[in-house]
Amino acid sequence: MADKTIFQKIEAGEIPAKIEYQDAECFAIRDINPQAPLHLLVIPRKVVPHLSEASAADAALLGHLLLVARDLALKLGCGDGFRTVINNGKNAGETVPHLHVHVLGGRPLGWPPG
Ligand code: 5GP
């Protein structure tokens, strides 16, 4: 069996993190290195390493992650605006090979991103 990802270790309670939300399909934590006042990671329990490796069978899961991201952003005070990001691959800065949706908000967010 492949080594657990950092996020699987958090899910198993082996690495501490503040769980903001969880359901049967996913969980959400505060990013350890926040880039905005609100910076969550919405993480599927199923390990899809990269968005580029997701399949049609993952369509409902991917949609669910976005709806959870939306609900959390609104619930946590980002009705004025928030951003969802999925980094894919080295050039995009992906560092954890376990698909996750960043949710950023709580300040004006520049565009284009870096
Ligand atoms: P990526 O760069 O792959 O898009 O995003 C990975 C994110 O996971 C980064 O923003 C990083 O700060 C966050 N991260 C890495 N290790 C941990 C950890 O142990 N705990 C938490 N809460 N976040 C982590």
Question: Measuring CA to CA, which residue among 96, 13, 85 is closest to residue 48?
Answer: 96
Q: Are 87 and 93 in contact (CB under 8 A)?
A: yes
Known active-site residue 98: no
Q: Say what the pTM is.
A: 0.98
pLDDT at 16: 97
Give percent of the chain above pLDDT 70: 99
Question: Domains of the chain (ranges plus CATH)?
Answer: 6-96 (3.30.428.10)
Q: Which atom of ligand 1 is nearest to the CA of 93?
A: 2
Ligand 1 contacts CB of residue 55 (under 6 A): no
Task: Band the pLDDT of 114: cuts 50, 70, 90.
Answer: confident
Ligand 1 contacts CB of residue 17 (under 6 A): yes
Ligand 1 contacts CB of residue 20 (under 6 A): no
Spatial distance between the Cα atoms of 104 and 31, rounded to a whole number of angstroms? 10
Spatial distance between the Cα atoms of 113 and 108, rounded to a whole number of angstroms? 12
